[in-house]
Amino acid sequence: MPVDIEVEDRIATVTLNRPEVMNAVDAQMRADLRRVWDRVRTDDDINVVIVTGAGERAFCTGSDLKATMPPPESAAALLFGTGEAGGTLEGFGTDKPIVCAINGHALGGGLELALACDIRIASDNARLGLTEARIGSVPGSGGMQRLPRTIGKSDAMLMLLTGEPVDAAEALRTGLVSRVVPRAELMRTAREIAARIAANGPLAVRAIKRTVLAGLDMPLEHALQVDKYVLGLLRDTEDRIEGRLAFKEKRAPVFKGR
């Protein structure tokens, strides 16, 4: 299958599985990803997601240019008609945290997928870039908006306009990734991060993600009011009470998502 998903201990590991073409995205992978994102949103056994790529060379190198020529339909027909215009990120939105483990190359749509994740860690052999300008195109799945919001205008413009990838060290310097680890330690590190998140109260974790993302587009004073509203919603939940009791009794909390 072009996309594999395994769920263990409330952590879903989603693996892009076309290593023979550096996990480039074709039509079948796009369809599989839509089904995977739908499961992530609706499966109560999933609290956290790890997204990675199969093989040693690449996380994802974007669209498979040999297998994905432009469709015959107009953009308007796809967007307002059949509803089939979506790419790898169609249906991606979820309040569940997503950790991206970037093994090797993350280029074009591959980096756009990584940018849509909440936490990015990279192997020390990673190369990351939005290379679309080199083939006369643009990053059409959020890269032009998410990259400058992530690393700032100047560094983003340098990457976007030259189309040149950066190495793992530069990605760490700009804040494009949070950590760089040896390739052999990448999935263990991602799993450790995901496990720490999964051990926390699921309602609190999802509330934090939704509130942070919403607040990025608000004036500070408005966002602070939203913080108070969200705290009020969580104040009397069973999980919040359980967390305080567990702290008092010096034991691990047992959260139920209620």
* Active-site residue set: 112, 132
Q: What is the DSSP letter of 72?
A: S
CB within 8 Å of 224: residues ≥ 6 apart = none
d(CA 197, CA 97): 8
Q: Where are the alpha helices (DSSP H) in the chain?
A: 27-42, 75-77, 109-116, 143-151, 153-162, 168-174, 186-198, 202-215, 220-234, 238-249
Distance CA 163, CA 59 (A): 18
Q: Looking at the chain, how many residues does it have?
A: 258
Q: What's the rounded Cα separation, in Å, for the pair 53 and 64? A: 15
- Contact status, residue 19 vs residue 59, Cβ threshold 8 Å: no
Sign of the four-CA dihedral 83, 99, 5, 25: positive
CB 47 within 8 A of CB 10: yes
